[in-house]
Structure 1
Amino acid sequence: MTILKTAPTTHTWCGETLLVILVVTCCARTMMRWPLEPLNMDIKSMMLFKQVQMPILTLVVSLASTVFAQLERDFAEEFAAPRSIMTADAGAIRVVPLASGLANPFDLAFRDNGDILVTERYTGQLRVIRDGQLLPQALTGVPPVYGEVFRAGLMSIALHPDDDALVYMTYTKAIEVDGEPEQTVALARARILEDRLVDAEEIFVAAGLDRGIAAAKLLFTPEKHLLMSIGGAYMYMGLGGYAQDPAVHYGKLLRLNDDGSAVADNPFVASGEHLPEVYSVGHRNQIGMDYHPDTGELWAAENGPQGGDEVNIIRPG
Structure 2
Amino acid sequence: MLPFRRPLVAAALVSALGLALHSLSGFAEPLVRSEAGPVKVAVIAQGLEIPWSLAFLPDGRMLVTERPGRMRVVSPSGELSAPLKNVPKVHAKGQGGLLDVVLSPRFADDRTIFFSYAEPTERGAHTAVARATLDLEGLSLGDVKVIFAQHDDPPGNNHWGSRLVFDRDGNLYVTLGDRFDYRDKAQDLGSHLGKIVRIRPDGSVPPDNPYVGKAGALPEIWSYGHRNVQGAALHPETGVLWVHEHGPQGGDEVNIVKPGRNYGWPVITHGREYGTGLKIGEGTERKDVEPSIHYWVPSIAPSGMAFYTGDAMPKWKGSLFVGALKIRLLARLALDGNRVTHEERLDLGKRIRDVRQGPDGKLYLLDESDGRILRLDPA
- Cα distance in 2 for residues equivalent to 1:115 and 1:101: 16
- Cα distance in 2 for residues equivalent to 1:80 and 1:241: 51
Q: Which residue of 2 aligns with 1:105?
A: 51
Question: For each residue in 1:251-296, what CA deviation from the matched residue of structure 2 results, as whole angstroms up to 9, or x when unmatched?
Answer: 0001010011211111001213421110011101111111222333
- Which of residues 79, 93, 105 is equivalent to 1:134? 79
Shift of the alpha carbon at 1:247?
2.2
- Cα distance in 1 for residues equivalent to 2:172 and 2:146: 15
Shift of the alpha carbon at 1:199?
1.0
Question: For each residue in 1:18-40, what CA deviation from the matched residue of structure 2 results, as whole angstroms up to 9, or x when unmatched?
Answer: xxxxxxxxxxxxxxxxxxxxxxx
- Cα distance in 2 for residues equivalent to 1:139 and 1:200: 12
Q: Which TM-score applies when normalising by structure 2?
A: 0.57
- Cα distance in 1 for residues equivalent to 2:114 and 2:238: 27
- Cα distance in 2 for residues equivalent to 1:188 and 1:293: 26
- Cα distance in 1 for residues equivalent to 2:253 and 2:36: 20
Shift of the alpha carbon at 1:91?
4.9
SS at match of 2:122: strand
- Cα distance in 2 for residues equivalent to 1:292 and 1:125: 30
Q: Which residue of 1 aligns with 2:66?
A: 120
1:32-51 correspondence to structure 2 within 5 Å: none
1:204-243 correspondence to structure 2 within 5 Å: 204-210=148-154, 211-213=156-158, 214-234=160-180, 237=181, 239-243=182-186
- Which of residues 204, 218, 225 is equivalent to 1:282? 225
| Cα separation, partners in 2 of 1:200 and 1:206, compared to 1, 3 Å | same
- Cα distance in 2 for residues equivalent to 1:260 and 1:90: 43
Higher helix fraction (1 or 2): 1
SS at match of 2:43: coil
Shift of the alpha carbon at 1:136?
4.1
Question: For each residue in 1:6-60, what CA deviation from the matched residue of structure 2 results, as whole angstroms up to 9, or x when unmatched?
Answer: xxxxxxxxxxxxxxxxxxxxxxxxxxxxxxxxxxxxxxxxxxxxxxxxxxxxxxx
Contact 1:106 1:156 in 2 (8 A): yes
- Which of residues 39, 45, 69 is equivalent to 1:93? 39
Letter in 2 for 1:206: Q
- Cα distance in 1 for residues equivalent to 2:248 and 2:33: 27
Contact 2:244 2:252 in 1 (8 A): yes
- Cα distance in 1 for residues equivalent to 2:166 and 2:243: 13
SS at match of 1:272: coil
Q: Which residue of 2 aligns with 1:292?
A: 235
Contact 1:98 1:132 in 2 (8 A): yes
1:1-317 correspondence to structure 2 within 5 Å: 82-87=29-34, 90-121=36-67, 123-147=68-92, 149-164=93-108, 165-177=111-123, 182-193=124-135, 194=137, 195-210=139-154, 211-213=156-158, 214-234=160-180, 237=181, 239-317=182-260
| Cα separation, partners in 2 of 1:310 and 1:130, compared to 1, 3 Å | same
| Cα separation, partners in 2 of 1:278 and 1:140, compared to 1, 3 Å | same
Gaps of 5+ in 2: 1-23, 261-379
Contact 2:125 2:153 in 1 (8 A): yes
Instruction: Give the structure with higher Rg (CA).
Output: 1
- Cα distance in 1 for residues equivalent to 2:205 and 2:193: 16
| Cα separation, partners in 2 of 1:273 and 1:82, compared to 1, 3 Å | farther
Shift of the alpha carbon at 1:228?
0.4
* Identity of matched residues, %: 37
Which structure has more relative contact order (CA 8 Å, sep 6+)? It is 2
Question: For each residue in 1:74-96, what CA deviation from the matched residue of structure 2 results, as whole angstroms up to 9, or x when unmatched?
Answer: xxx9x995332224x55543322
- Cα distance in 2 for residues equivalent to 1:253 and 1:137: 33
Q: Which TM-score applies when normalising by structure 1?
A: 0.68
SS at match of 1:243: helix
Shift of the alpha carbon at 1:176?
1.4
Shift of the alpha carbon at 1:310?
0.8
| Cα separation, partners in 2 of 1:296 and 1:136, compared to 1, 3 Å | closer
Contact 2:157 2:179 in 1 (8 A): no
Contact 2:168 2:239 in 1 (8 A): no
Between the two proteins, the alignment pairs up a number of residues equal to 230
